[in-house]
Structure 1
Amino acid sequence: MREYFMDKRNIILAIVMLGTMMAAVDSTVVILALPVIVQDLHTDFFTAIWVIILYIFVVLVLTTQLGRVGDKVGRDKVYNWGFVVFTIGSALCGASPNIGSLITFRGIQSLGGAMMQSTGGAVIADNFPPNERGKAYGFTSIGWNVGAMLGIILGGIITTFIGWRYIFYINIPIGIVASILSFKFIRAKEVTEGRFDIPGTVLLASSLSLISYGAADIAGEGLVLKNEIMILVGLIVFIGFLFVEKRVKNPIIDFSVFQNRVLTYSLFASFFQSLGYLSVAFIIIMYLQGVRGLTPFQASLLLVPGYVIASLIAPFTGRLSDKIGSRIPATLGMGLMIIAIFLYISIATGINTPLIDIIFASLVGGIGSSFFYPANNSAIMANARRGIYGGVSGLQRTLSNMGLLLSYVLAITISSLTVPRYVAFEVFLGTYNGKIPAQFITGIHSALVLGAIILFVGLVLSALRGKEVRSNLASPTS
């Protein structure tokens, strides 16, 4: 037993799990604390929502570039220092005196998150052979689910009984321990040669920034000329980026990866899963707090079972994908998440439906995520060429985070189309004093139905990806 825990690969896996857990804790804990942050810092919902959106925004813009940086200067350097930056950012967030500083420090924290997210998958691929990566990604999925579960539990308890600032402080002891272990054990297997693609980096960052900010602005102001122009210009800049990338020797995105069908379909399945499902927890929590009047702690308890079951199942589903391939487990997972959305729709029909039904829906969704994430992540890295692990890992995180950002934008925008925007924001915050408009419940249903439709697109891509042959892929050197 001692030899198992002292095995270097298992230590590295535990470190990546810790990094994944930190990111997951911070994502769920902020959702629960948002209403309290608004009241304590004397701000409004649209300003406060940037505490969530900016994190996603920065990670989205930087992951592909940082993945490539990791390939060239060493994935260990990018990943290890990511822990340090994330921990410092967390401490600063907790000490923020106002909403402006909180959003600023959240940007620092998100830089650390981007450094870890862009290279974490590549670190696993560096140290585990293709026929064992499903199991490894299953354990990192445990890190995500345990982190999300801890975020919800601790977020509910801390926000209700102690104060929202401590939701950021809980990252500090984890970050210190993880940083020490990471610098000691994680070493880059190799680096690739070639110059940085500075023009491509500038164009891609500019394009994603314009599109992301424009999309986020829609959530707060609706569709207006300003955000329409930003998105249009962003798309034009992206076309310019594609034109440049076709003509440089060391492009940020190696477009040859899209010649592999399994890899391409797996990447876009990840995008549609994020786009369709990752705002569901946000919608349900705001429903429970805003419409049903639950405290953060009460709302958290209803969602915990889904994360618990996902944590228990993920290693087994990851091992299953190692044996039979990723297509069946990932597609099954998508299907279960669609079922979970329709269960949530049936629950959010008013203010008197049994809350215990939330637990059942969260269990179905948790089982679905435990099938999808390990299998899909394993398929992506198993079909990436060894020299571009970091680039592919960063590309996956970029697509996932683009889906996550747009998921929040769609959820907020669609659910508030049927009522005045100020009413929707007050309901989200639990500060609306009048009778909840029936149209608002209809808006929540519409947002959830759209999520199910988007997930179905991802399910089709997952089913059509084909079966990868991992025995033909090279194993990493020890």
Structure 2
Amino acid sequence: MALEGAAAPGVAARRGLGMFVVMIGVLISAVDGTIVVLALPAIQDDLAMSLSSVTWVVVSYLLVVTVLATQVGRLGDMYGRVRMYQAGFLVFVIGSLLCALAWNAAAIIAFRIVEGVGAALIAANSGAIISELYPPAERGRAYGFNAFGWSVGSVLGVLLGGVIVTYVSWRWIFWINLPIGALALVLAVRVLRDRGERVRRRLDPVGMITLGLGLFGVLWAMTGLAAQPWGGTQLAFLLGGAAMLVAFVLIERRQAEPTLDLSLFRIPAVTPSLLASLLQGLASFAVLFLVIMYLQGPRGLSPIDASLLMLPGYVVGAAVGPFAGRLADRWGPVLPATAGLAVSAVALVVFALMTTTSSLWLPAIGNVVIMIGGSLFYPANSSAVMKASPPGRLGIASGVLRTFASIGMVFSFTTAILVAADSVPRSTAFAIFVGSTTLDGPLAVAFTDGLSTAFFTMMGVMALAAVLSAFRGRAGSPQRRPDGRAGGQVPA
């Protein structure tokens, strides 16, 4: 489906429609990511879920996306990225329908896994579709619009989540995915075309299973430790998960086409870009959860008031995204990506300064700053990876990028809960997280101090990501012409 040439109006129009379809997929994912968090208290109460099991409504989804990203990206190379992208919408809509009909804890977690399969198909192939729609010199702008779609989806997730949780049923957070997903599927069928060359690939089920079991074991131990004292069960899951991850590495070294294609790491621009993506996810994904815990716990805000306070950041992030993408096209990915990570580190310092008596404008300002940082980082970093990757392996590269980002996100989420649970009783931390209790007095101070420690730790991780981004290889960066416009490729 590669569309060559930017001059023809018909080509430009088709590119625009194609980008719109991709943005809908990103928007749905962003809505789902924020809206579910705000609905956790209602889900827990209605389905009589334990405080520990309700976290798997989020973790199971992220885990599936992490494990499947490279494999479904490989399916895109084999059978067509657009075809797999369309399949992702279909599976996601089915998963959302099932989630809306869930009757107990096991059902909602299982159906979230189905949703995660659809999200993996959408996410792993969207980056490759953008790379086929746009020439290298314009991909930064395209990824900037992708970031815009993510920010708009986050805004809608915050707004809809607060309203639905407060005034309607939590089941509507999944019902609303049906018409949006169906519209996106129809548009994808009518607008996008698979014209790229098919590449024969082998799947890696053994690697996928060992990676999934390894991550599951470690995550189960971490969430279990946050919910109850250390014991033999947590130790067994932790050791078992670690053993599976070691087995995964050993297996991957012998695979002709592994789950994580190690040959991509030989490309100078790719390795630091992937590591920066992982560390950025680790340092930033849990921010929303931690700030919501702070606002609902020590500050006693309702879910809708807490969500409205975070809204300006997402609006500003949406406005910055397309502009940041143009910066990546004009100056290459290193400067905007590194600047975005540095700005995000500053935001984490702002969050760390929150106390039980500080102004509520502090978390709002911090969210504005971190959303600006994310909008600068995402399009530049994605553009760097996709520009540097061979054309026949765009699906694999997109999937690997999504895998690294998702690994960071899933461990960010569980680490945040673990840190929060260390400063107050574990049951209290979980109750704050799902919004079923508030805090005051010495307990509120202790909890806020624990959050401050978490934010400073995340700031250190974000700073490390910025260092990696600053010293990445320059392969894939657009070469400067005398007139200042992007030209060819700078050699590694």
TM beyond 0.5: yes
Deviations along 1:315-353, whole A, 9 cap, x unmatched?
111011111111111111111111111112222x11x32
- Per-residue deviation, 1:149: 0.7
- Per-residue deviation, 1:247: 3.1
- 1:35/1:338 CA distance change after superposition, 3 Å: same
Q: Which residue of 1 is the match for residue 160 of structure 2?
A: 154
The aligned length equals: 471
- 1:202/1:309 CA distance change after superposition, 3 Å: same
- 1:118/1:222 CA distance change after superposition, 3 Å: farther
Among 404, 409, 420, the alignment partner of 2:414 is: 409
- Per-residue deviation, 1:164: 1.4
- Per-residue deviation, 1:224: 3.7
Kept after mapping to 2: 8 A contact 1:57/1:212: no
Q: Which residue of 1 is the match for residue 247 of structure 2?
A: 240
- 1:380/1:433 CA distance change after superposition, 3 Å: closer
| Identity within the alignment, % | 38
Q: What is the rounded CA distance, in whole Å, between the counterparts of 1:71 and 1:219 in structure 2?
A: 40
Deviations along 1:389-412, whole A, 9 cap, x unmatched?
111111111111111111011111
Q: What is the rounded CA distance, in whole Å, between the counterparts of 2:365 and 2:273 in structure 1?
A: 28
Deviations along 1:379-429, whole A, 9 cap, x unmatched?
111111111111111111111111111101111111111222112223334
SS at match of 1:425: helix
Gaps of 5+ in 1: none
Alignment of 1:176-325 (within 5 A): 176-188=182-194, 189-221=196-228, 223-325=230-332
- Comparing 463-472 with 148-157, greater Cα deviation is found at 463-472
1:175 aligns with 2:164: no
- Per-residue deviation, 1:472: 4.7
Alignment of 1:405-444 (within 5 A): 405-432=410-437, 435-436=440-441, 437=443, 438-444=445-451
Q: What is the rounded CA distance, in whole Å, between the counterparts of 1:458 and 1:223 in structure 2?
A: 31
Amino acid at match of 1:361: G
Amino acid at match of 2:207: G
- Comparing 126-135 with 38-47, greater Cα deviation is found at 38-47
Q: Which residue of 1 is the match for residue 398 of structure 2?
A: 393
SS at match of 1:294: coil
SS at match of 1:261: coil
- Per-residue deviation, 1:6: 7.1
Kept after mapping to 2: 8 A contact 1:341/1:448: yes
Kept after mapping to 1: 8 A contact 2:63/2:212: no
1:43 aligns with 2:12: no
SS at match of 1:50: helix
Deviations along 1:151-178, whole A, 9 cap, x unmatched?
0011111111112111111111110100
- 1:428/1:291 CA distance change after superposition, 3 Å: farther
Q: What is the rounded CA distance, in whole Å, between the counterparts of 2:422 and 2:41 in structure 1?
A: 21
Amino acid at match of 2:42: V
Kept after mapping to 1: 8 A contact 2:298/2:440: no
- Comparing 222-231 with 328-337, greater Cα deviation is found at 222-231
SS at match of 1:107: helix
CA RMSD of aligned residues (A): 2.1
Q: Which residue of 2 is the match for residue 383 of structure 1?
A: 388
Amino acid at match of 1:427: I
- 1:224/1:319 CA distance change after superposition, 3 Å: farther
Q: What is the rounded CA distance, in whole Å, between the counterparts of 1:56 and 1:241 in structure 2?
A: 19
- 1:391/1:370 CA distance change after superposition, 3 Å: same
Q: Which residue of 2 is the match for residue 92 of structure 1?
A: 98
Gaps of 5+ in 2: 1-7, 479-486
Amino acid at match of 1:397: R
SS at match of 1:193: coil
Q: What is the rounded CA distance, in whole Å, between the counterparts of 1:219 and 1:190 in structure 2?
A: 48
Among 354, 373, 376, the alignment partner of 1:371 is: 376
Q: What is the rounded CA distance, in whole Å, between the counterparts of 1:133 and 1:147 in structure 2?
A: 21
SS at match of 1:78: helix
- Comparing 314-323 with 235-244, greater Cα deviation is found at 235-244
TM-score (norm 2): 0.91
Kept after mapping to 1: 8 A contact 2:297/2:438: no
- 1:292/1:257 CA distance change after superposition, 3 Å: same
Kept after mapping to 2: 8 A contact 1:219/1:410: no
Among 30, 53, 57, the alignment partner of 2:59 is: 53
Q: What is the rounded CA distance, in whole Å, between the counterparts of 2:216 and 2:434 in structure 1?
A: 28
SS at match of 1:402: helix
Kept after mapping to 1: 8 A contact 2:162/2:304: yes
- Per-residue deviation, 1:230: 2.9
- Comparing 432-441 with 355-364, greater Cα deviation is found at 432-441
Kept after mapping to 1: 8 A contact 2:74/2:201: no
1:120 aligns with 2:119: no
Deviations along 1:277-333, whole A, 9 cap, x unmatched?
110111101211222221221111111111111111111110111111111111111
Q: What is the rounded CA distance, in whole Å, between the counterparts of 2:263 and 2:223 in structure 1?
A: 31
SS at match of 1:45: coil
- Per-residue deviation, 1:447: 1.4
- Comparing 242-251 with 387-396, greater Cα deviation is found at 242-251
TM-score (norm 1): 0.93
Amino acid at match of 1:101: A
Deviations along 1:233-268, whole A, 9 cap, x unmatched?
333333333333333333333211111221110111
